Amino acid sequence: MSYNTLDLKTASPILSWAGHDLAPKETQMAKNVASLPFVYKHVALMPDVHLGKGALVGSVIATKDAVIPAAVGVDVGCGMAALKMPFHGDQLERKLKKIRLEIEEAIPVGFDENKEIEKNVTNWLGWQHFKDLHKGVQNLDKKAIKQLGSLGGGNHFIELCLDTDNQVWLMLHSGSRGIGNQLAQCHISTAKNLAKLTEIKLPDPDLSYFVAGTPEFEAYWRDLQWAQDYARMNREIMMARFKHIVEKNIAGGKLTKPILSVNCHHNYAEKEHHFGEDVYVTRKGAVRARENDYGIIPGSMGAKSYIVKGKGCAESFCSCAHGAGRLMSRTQAKKHFSLDDLIQQTEGVECRKDYKILDEIPGAYKPIEQVMNQQSDLVEIVATLKQVMCVKG
């Protein structure tokens, strides 16, 4: 096994696949979570673990009869999608810039939203339950419809990749957009207010929680599942547009059948069965990796990415890392690196090379090979990818 049990005095043990010592603030955050009375068995830290809010990004928290909204986070259902296409790299020659510009035209990024609404957006069955969501988002129905099929900002991206056999892959990273964020904020606020009213002593207010069986828990769990479904659908709609653009440029618009399709969350919570019991599992920056589960572990915009298959490691609650993990904050990256650094580190990748994406420079992230080396007991590598085109949010 490639994990260590941290030498910390906590109510529940902390198992770490990180392969390095945690920084003081990271250690305290891990201890805070492991001190909660409803944590089940232990806390599992993935190789890409780093500071988050309330709980570390790259942590897997199994709980009995309780969930922590801030541990799931505000980008509910954030995750990855990928398609292995029946195309080869030589078919992309002299077409990458055109494909990138068409993607940027077809898929809104940042704060932008869709100007025209497709039928598969308006026909999504999830809209039938919108009226049941938290009253704090009832005025966001039109915005939610317009944002379904949009990328967002930050570290979200769309990439065209090649594997070691020169096979073409489509890959993207996004979540539940503004509606998921707002739902999470509403419930995090409710949890914090509830903790104050009941005078629950917590090591961090961001660890305020809901107890199963209460109206607050039921409301959060309902909204959480809806937002996770929205996030998955968001990726499906963008991927369909992405696929159409690539088919148009490579195959004259002829529809093609993907060789492999993967769509997985890495910021979410589900009810699962572990060590003989039903528990709630929160993966904050972690991917489910049950035996034969397919997952996606991206590097930075200048590094390799991996398609993996889970090994079902019980100690990790059948989980693995979700990416390279940041080495420095966005502010630090902008201070430390120059535009020339960005151009150099993204050499050979068709992408924007401007100050607006400087905080996403590859040097701001951990080496993805290091992350992969620390989780050989969690996943097997199915494909190794290298991007040739990248669209950032």
Tens of pLDDT, residues 296-315: 999 988 889 999 999 999 99
Give the separation between CA 331 and CA 295, rounded to whole angstroms. 30
pTM value is: 0.95
Among 95-104, 266-275, 317-326, name the one with the lowest average pLDDT. Answer: 317-326
- Computed over every residue of the chain, the mean pLDDT equals 96
The partner residues of 390 in beta bridges, in order of sequence, read 159
Give pLDDT, residue 352.
87
Given 42, 50, 265, 322, the catalytic residue = 322
Burial 113-130 (b: 16+ CB within 10 A, else e): bbeeeeeebeebebeeeb
Q: Indicate the domain borders of the chain.
A: 4-327+365-392
Point out the least confidently predicted range of 168-172, 174-178, 361-365, 375-379.
Answer: 361-365
**Are the CB atoms for 343 and 301 separated by under 8 Å?**
no
What is the reported pLDDT for 393?
80
Distance CA(230)–CA(150), nearest Å, equals 12
pLDDT band at 154 (very low <50, low <70, confident <90, very high): confident
Give one word for 138, left, alpha or beta, with left for phi > 0 and alpha for psi -120 to 50.
alpha
Do 250 and 87 form a contact (C-beta atoms < 8 A)? yes
Q: Is 187 tagged catalytic?
A: no
Binding-site sequence positions for Mn(2+): 75, 156, 173, 266
User: Which residues are CB-contacts of 33 (< 8 A; sequence separation ≥ 6)?
Assistant: 39, 43, 54, 55, 56, 59, 61, 71, 207
CATH class of 4-327+365-392: alpha beta
Among residues of the chain, what percentage have pLDDT more than 90?
91
Looking at residue 1, its pLDDT comes to 60
Residue recorded with tokens 């659908």: 233
- State phi, psi for 56 to the nearest 5 degrees: -65, 140
Residues of each annotated binding site for GMP: 155-159, 266-267, 298-301, 305, 322-325, 392
Question: Residue 304's beta-bridge partner residues?
Answer: 386
Question: Binding site: residue ranges?
Answer: 75, 155-159, 173, 266-267, 298-301, 305, 322-325, 392
Of 69, 41, 53, 54, the C-alpha closest to 318 is 41
